[in-house]
Structure 1
Amino acid sequence: MFEKLQLTNMANAMAERAGARMGVVAQNIANADTPGYKTMDTPSFADTYQDGGTPMRMTRPEHMMGQDQTSASILRGAKGSGAPNGNTVSLEQEMVKTVTIRQDHDMALAIYRNTSEIIRASLGRAR
């Protein structure tokens, strides 16, 4: 029953993306001292969900202009200079990413939990 609801599919996709992004961040942290290593990240949730899920609807033609429509699962590249050995990993930035990932994962769980509570209430079943 839950797999047919678009909202639970979106929450599932959010949780899966959070897990995948945490793996990429962990790889970045593990390679923080590797010479020449370039920081990696995943595309935004909107891009990945649009590619694999229900497409977002535009309210007007200019609505979604300017968004980078990449389909890559991992984006390699660095923002900023980096270390003299060519490594672009910033441990501070990676730690900030982990906080964002945790918030995304918690949001996905909250959406799923609230959806299931609403369905239970509508069926007349309390916890």
Structure 2
Amino acid sequence: MFASNDVFRMASALAAHAAARQTAISQNMANADTPGYRAMDARPFSDTIREAPALALRRTRPAHLGEPAALHRVRLEETVRPGDASPNGNSVSLEREMLNAAETKHSHDLALTVYRSGLTLLRSSLGRG
């Protein structure tokens, strides 16, 4: 019933983006001492949404194309800034990764809050408040 609701799809996409970003951050932190390792990060969620032009499409028949996978596809890219690399070629900054992890937790919490609020609204509309 609520799978086609844009609010739930957006919250789900934000949660998937936060999970993928947290995975990249944890891999960066695990490889903080690996020579030559290049830090990776997910592109901003706003860029992911802009690349999904089919958000407004509806699937009314089984033969129609389904929901675009672009919403749940997260692209990772190198986050090397000039002067960041250590002498062994590693570009991981643990301080930056900790800040990114806190920002990612906030994004995940936001997605859960939006999802929870949507469920509360649906329950209220059904009289099950």
TM range (shorter): 0.7 to 0.9
Matching residue's letter, 1:29: M
Matching residue's letter, 2:114: I
Which position in structure 2 is the counterpart of 1:48?
48
Which position in structure 1 is the counterpart of 2:80?
78
Q: Deviations over 1:98-118 (max 9, x none)?
A: 100100000000000001101
TM, length-normalised to structure 1: 0.81
In the alignment, is the contact (CA less than 8 A) between 1:29 and 1:89 conserved in 2?
yes
Matching residue's letter, 1:115: G
Which position in structure 2 is the counterpart of 1:116?
119
Alignment of structure 1 residues 1-127 onto 2, 5 Å = 1-52=1-52, 54=55, 73-81=75-83, 82-126=85-129
Task: Classify the secondary structure of the residue corresponding to 2:3.
Answer: helix
In the alignment, is the contact (CA less than 8 A) between 1:17 and 1:45 conserved in 2?
yes
Report the Cα offset of residue 80 of structure 1: 4.0
Structure 1 spans left out of the alignment, 5+ residues: 56-70
CA distance in 1, matches of 2:74, 2:55: 18
Number of residue-to-residue matches in the alignment = 111
Q: Deviations over 1:28-83 (max 9, x none)?
A: 1111111111111011101112223628xxxxxxxxxxxxxxx9711013124221
In the alignment, is the contact (CA less than 8 A) between 2:17 and 2:74 conserved in 1?
no
CA distance in 1, matches of 2:96, 2:123: 41
TM, length-normalised to structure 2: 0.79
Task: Classify the secondary structure of the residue corresponding to 2:92.
Answer: coil
Query: RMSD value over aligned CA atoms?
Result: 1.7
Q: 1:45 to 1:2 in 2, by over 3 A?
A: same
Percentage of matched positions with identical amino acids: 41
CA distance in 1, matches of 2:75, 2:101: 18
